[in-house]
Amino acid sequence: MSVKKMSIHKTPKDYDSDDVTWEGGGNGYRSKKDDKICILRCPECGKENYAMAVNSGQCCWCGFTVNKKETK
C-alpha cells in the first residue's frame, strides 16, 4: 500500500465532524469528539466503503486502515 497525503478541512464549530480528503482520491470525515477518522471512499482502492465499515476507519474491500490500533 502506498502512503497517501491526507488533508483535514475544518468545518464550523457546531458541526460534529471535519471533512477528510486524500491526495489522488478518497474521502471521509474526522469526529470532533474523539478524532477518529472514518472512510467513505477508500484512498487506496477507490471503492465506496460498505456503510457498516465506515466508522471502523478500514476499507472493507482492500483492508486499508487509517486509525492506529491500540495495543495494551
Domain that holds residue 47: 6-56
CB 31 within 8 A of CB 38: yes
pLDDT band at residue 72 under the 50/70/90 scheme: very low
Note whether residue 67 is domain-resident. no
Note whether residue 20 is domain-resident. yes
Note whether residue 36 is domain-resident. yes
Q: pLDDT tens-digit profile of 18-55?
A: 999 999 999 999 999 999 999 999 999 999 999 999 99
DSSP 49: P
Note whether residue 26 is domain-resident. yes
Q: How far apart are CA 26 and CA 35, in angstroms?
A: 18
Note whether residue 34 is domain-resident. yes
Note whether residue 1 is domain-resident. no
Listed in sequence order, the residues at least 6 apart from 17 whose beta carbon sits closer than 8 Å to its beta carbon are 11, 29, 30, 31, 32, 38
> CB burial class (10 A; 0-12, 13-18, 19+) of residue 11?
middle
> Is the per-residue pLDDT at 70 higher than 70?
no
Note whether residue 68 is domain-resident. no
Note whether residue 19 is domain-resident. yes
